Amino acid sequence: MTTDRILRPAPSIDGSAIASQSVSIINRRQFMGYSLNAAGGVLAVSLGTLGFASILLPPGGGSGGDLQVKFWAKGREDEAWYGAQHLQAMTKSSFVEEAAKSNIGVSGAQGVWNGLPVNVTYVPHAENKDKAVSDNVPRFQFMEGYNLSGNYVGHFEDMTDAEPELFNPDENLIMVFSRCTHLCCIPGWQLVSNAFTDDNWTPGGGDGGGSKLFCICHSSRFDPTALEMNQNTNRSNGQQFQFAGIRRAGGPAPVGLPLIPIIMNGDYIEGATTHLDWLTYCD
Ligand code: FES
């Protein structure tokens, strides 16, 4: 038996639909196809088949896990700038090279780390952090986080003050777990073209400007430059946990995406397994 789902058109900044006012109805098989296309079928199929907990084994734990992050370029990513680098190790220099082609010096890519879908974004923070805050001068923004009830959770720097290894802004890189907090599709970097994915930037962590991670399933948006502390729920045991991550800018996703701390190994981008509990909101 198939379950029909409504695939909503992407809304514009003012909330109206862009591109098409029609609402597509798709069944579960098609729904999975959309999510697989968003960042790669094998990943999502693996998650579904093996179960989340069995994949979250740390490197060396018998899973063949690996600290190194690799490009993921199967599906829509075939045509992305890293399309020819499927499963090749991510390097910072490749992001820098791609960012030089951007109007605002930003680049991003889908990846796979430790068997999980991730997104890595390069932001020219070190170059821009002392410039006046204005459109199209992107930098990381350290912000307060509020839960679904509007209650203050904490500030991103509350977490990084206690644990500086979480994030080094001067590396100009951030990596997040790329599963949407709505229904666990895989948000991508410029895999669709709309106002949210354009090559521009607006400060404040809101829904204006481009350079958002965009979830194709129901149009959730996440700002990879807006860093906050927030809370989510472990799907297995129902317990709430606090995490450091990027802000939800719009759409049905309840909160933003958790970061995975980056470890630089020369030019190679690696991920730390110190906060796997932050990734437990999907099955
Ligand atoms: S899964 Fe629904 S917006 Fe991402």
**Element at 41 (helix H, strand E):** helix 41-50
* Ligand 1 centroid from CA 128, angstroms: 32
Rg of the chain (C-alpha set): 18
The list of the chain residues with pLDDT below 70 reads: 1-65
Please give the number of the atom of ligand 1 that sits closest to the Cα of 35: 1
Distance between CA atoms of 269 and 271, rounded to whole angstroms?
7
Nearest CA residue ID for atom 1, ligand 1: 183
**pLDDT at 275 (0 to 100):** 96
DSSP 160-225: HHH-GGG--GGG-EEEEE-S-TTT----EESSS-STTTSS---TTSSS-SS--EE-TTT--EEEEE
Q: What is the pLDDT of residues 100-111, one digit of tens each?
A: 999 999 999 999
Cα(217)–Cα(156) distance, integer angstroms: 28
Q: Which residues line ligand 1 (CB under 6 A)?
A: 180, 182-183, 185, 215, 217-218, 220, 251-253
Q: Which of 31, 180, 191, 221 to mutate to test the pocket of ligand 1 (most atoms within 8 A of CB)?
A: 180
Pocket test for ligand 1, best of 215, 281, 282 (most atoms within 8 A of CB): 215
Q: Which backbone phi and psi does 224 adopt, to 5 degrees?
A: -70, -5
Residues with Cβ within 8 Å of 164's Cβ and at least 6 positions away in sequence, in order, are none
Q: Which atom of ligand 1 is nearest to the CA of 218?
A: 3
Give residue 283's identity as a one-letter amino acid code: D
Predicted confidence at residue 18, as pLDDT, reads 33
